[in-house]
Amino acid sequence: MNIREYLKKSKLVADGSFGTYYSTKYKTDDIPEYSNITNPQRIFDIHTEYINSGARLIRTNTFASNTYSLDCSLEKVKENIRAAFEIAKKAVDKSGKEVFIAGNIGPVPAVFQPDFEAVEEEYYQIAKTFVELGVEILCFETFTDNEHILPAIKRIKDECNPFIIVQFCVNQFGYSEAGESAERLVSNTAFSKCVDAVGLNCGVGPAHMQQILSRINLNNNCFITAMPNAGYPLLVRNRVKYADNPLYFASKVSDMALIGADIVGGCCGTTPEYIKDLAETVDLTPAVKSSETAAKKECEKPIIKKGFFRNTDGTIKDKKLIAVELAPPFGADDKKLLEAAHSLKGLGVDVLTFPDSPSGRTRIDSVLMAQKVKNETGFDVMPHICCRDKNAIAMRSTFLGASINGINNFLIITGDPIPVMARQVVKSVFNFDSVGLMRIADEMNSDSLKNQPITYGGAINQGRLRIEAEIKRVQKKMDAGAEFFLTQPVFTAEDAERLRRVKEETGARILCGIMPLVSRKNALFMKNEISGVNVTDEVIERYPESTSREDGENIGVELAKEMIAITKDFADGYYFSFPFNRTYLLKRIITEI
């Protein structure tokens, strides 16, 4: 009987943790995957213990069998996988029991490196190695997103149709480190049409996993897995230790089986004793799957989405958009900023935007500054939100607080790092990058903010060395719900041409950055102190060594007009940042738009 037929007749009990049990049993911190070659008897004994405890699905000891974790060539990885499978097969054969073997595939840590295509290829090669050995089940587990595994899964699925399990790791709030919710991870993976079973493992204890699964629609024509940790780890005498609670664990995981989990087992901290109690407790009666969505949506009137580029009825404005940046002050005196904001009235400005402590230097909070300006001027406002200073909890609360105060626009960016001299006392957060935060915002728009969804966009760095990589990045942001993009200041025809290509290949709504430099000193500062801004020597030479304030501003205005002229054919609008808040220059530039 293959696993698909088995699951139609019965739920399936899997094994528990291999890594933490290996570490405890043999009192070592060595990577257990090395023992596939050096000490196979240890691996055989653990598999046998889990089988004797009632596990009818065991996972090969290959979670870390990849080139990065084992620090070896791909051929050595394949050798390790072959050894692991032979040990698992030997344990099953000697048991005389019907036990399924799943090829276990964990995250390749090199996914954090730029060469994503190489990582995706390695997942495929690992999966292909298992299939060539005769393994019919592949288990991808402890992932934070599916972005880099789905390409490999689709390839291997098309070639030989193995039974594929994908499991995600989330925290007690139901979010992965990539910023994606468990609900979205499970549903998107289930609807990918190339995965047979999807669920959660690791990250949380059984009670939290049960709560998270209870909020997810598990009736999605995909088998569901649930493999929580024994609980939360404690550090005792420099060793990680989990509470000894197998009966409690078994009762909670059994509850997960009752609400729809088809494959249940354990992750970190779980031992053969845990699996024995689970196998004796869980009701193995299979759940009835339906093709219909379990949750019926109530009839709702359509929501009119707000945003600075929309009219009050939700339609898109038929004009070149104008955004103006006002940098919040370093201190508590906001008089000059408010004067600058008031001076922009009547000039057709669509939105005022406020950076979030750029360059890692403390300024007035961007959301609170935006709120005050909105209240005093009536302008539509857009705070920048960067990922440097807050975790997912704080980010979500920021969106909620801004929303109830009528702030609907956001620019979501990864953010500048903390300055070197401050890093000993100030720590960056960076739980995720801008794409991860956009996914959180997108999730909130379909959940807690569904009646008043927010509008958000991202940044484009047209000066990036490989513009192809930036184009891919823009597409990822659009896939995560970004509806517009603000660019770095444009100072050359080359900048404009690069942005024109981004527009042609993605169709993104682009507001080109325009910065009227007001002096040679200002231009030199931007060239040498601000990364990502392409101020050429030709631009600097337009400003004499010594010139009056008026002449410097005149040159800046002319340069701005030239950049508008060469981007007018593709730009959806312009994003102005005025040095020293000299917003009065906009009146002289606006005629070009």
- For residues 22 and 50, the answer to whether their CB atoms sit within 8 Å is no
- Same domain flag for 236 and 146: yes
Residue 292 falls within a domain, yes or no?
no
Which one of 281, 308, 330 terminates a domain? Answer: 281
User: What CATH number does the domain containing 344 carry?
Assistant: 3.20.20.220
**Burial status of residue 550 (CB atoms within 10 A of its CB: 0-12, 13-18, 19 or more):** exposed
Q: What is the pTM of this model?
A: 0.70
Spatial separation of the C-alpha atoms in residues 425 and 477, rounded to whole Å: 32
Number of domains forming the structure of the chain:
2
403: enclosing H helix or E strand: helix 392-404
> Letter for the amino acid at 438?
M
Residue 110 falls within a domain, yes or no?
yes
CB-facing half-sphere around the CA of 180: CA atoms within 13 A: 19
> Letter for the amino acid at 24?
T
- Same domain flag for 70 and 135: yes
Beta carbons within 10 angstroms of residue 546's beta carbon = 8
Q: Where are the alpha helices (DSSP H) in 246-322?
A: 246-258, 272-281
- For residues 381 and 410, the answer to whether their CB atoms sit within 8 Å is no
- Same domain flag for 392 and 272: no
Q: Which residues contact 262 (CB under 8 A, 6 or more apart)?
A: 7, 11, 12, 197, 223, 224, 225, 286, 287
The three-class DSSP label of residue 198 is strand
The tens-digit pLDDT sequence of the chain (593 residues) is 799 999 999 999 999 999 999 999 999 989 999 999 999 999 999 999 999 999 999 999 999 999 999 999 999 999 999 999 999 999 999 999 999 999 999 999 855 455 678 889 999 999 999 999 999 999 999 999 888 899 999 999 999 999 999 999 999 888 888 778 899 899 999 988 899 999 999 999 999 999 999 989 888 789 999 999 998 877 655 666 777 899 999 999 999 999 999 999 999 999 999 999 999 999 999 876 654 444 444 445 567 788 999 998 889 999 999 999 999 999 999 999 999 999 999 999 999 999 999 888 899 999 999 999 999 999 999 999 999 888 888 898 999 999 999 999 999 999 887 766 666 677 788 877 899 899 889 989 988 898 899 999 999 999 888 999 999 999 999 999 999 999 999 999 999 999 999 999 999 999 999 999 999 999 999 999 887 788 999 999 999 988 899 999 999 999 999 999 999 999 999 999 999 989 999 999 987 77
Spatial separation of the C-alpha atoms in residues 417 and 166, rounded to whole Å: 34
Which one of 233, 257, 281 terminates a domain? Answer: 281
Residue 316 falls within a domain, yes or no?
no
Q: How far is CA 181 from CA 120, 209, 211, 401, 441, in A?
A: 23, 13, 13, 20, 11
What residues pair up with 236 in beta bridges, in sequence order?
A: 239
Residue 402 falls within a domain, yes or no?
yes
- Same domain flag for 218 and 346: no
Residue 378 falls within a domain, yes or no?
yes
The distance in angstroms from the start CA to the end CA of the chain is 70
Residue 375 falls within a domain, yes or no?
yes
Query: Which domain does 430 fall in, by range?
Result: 321-592
- For residues 435 and 474, the answer to whether their CB atoms sit within 8 Å is no
Spatial separation of the C-alpha atoms in residues 523 and 128, rounded to whole Å: 55
SS3 content of the chain, % helix, strand, coil (to 5): 45, 15, 40
| Best CA proximity match to 21, nearest among 242, 263, 252, 231 | 242
- Same domain flag for 273 and 335: no
**pLDDT reported for residue 334:** 95
> Letter for the amino acid at 550?
E
Q: How far is CA 259 from CA 121, 295, 347, 512, in A?
A: 36, 14, 58, 51
**pLDDT reported for residue 238:** 62
- Same domain flag for 263 and 343: no
Spatial separation of the C-alpha atoms in residues 587 and 485, rounded to whole Å: 24
- For residues 63 and 33, the answer to whether their CB atoms sit within 8 Å is yes
The three-class DSSP label of residue 216 is coil
The values of phi and psi at residue 534, to 5°, are: -100, 80
- For residues 486 and 323, the answer to whether their CB atoms sit within 8 Å is yes
User: What CATH number does the domain containing 17 carry?
Assistant: 3.20.20.330
Q: Which token pair is 457?
A: 């966009």
Q: Which token pair is 219?
A: 């009736």
> Letter for the amino acid at 526?
M
DSSP class of residue 359?
G
Residue 301 falls within a domain, yes or no?
no
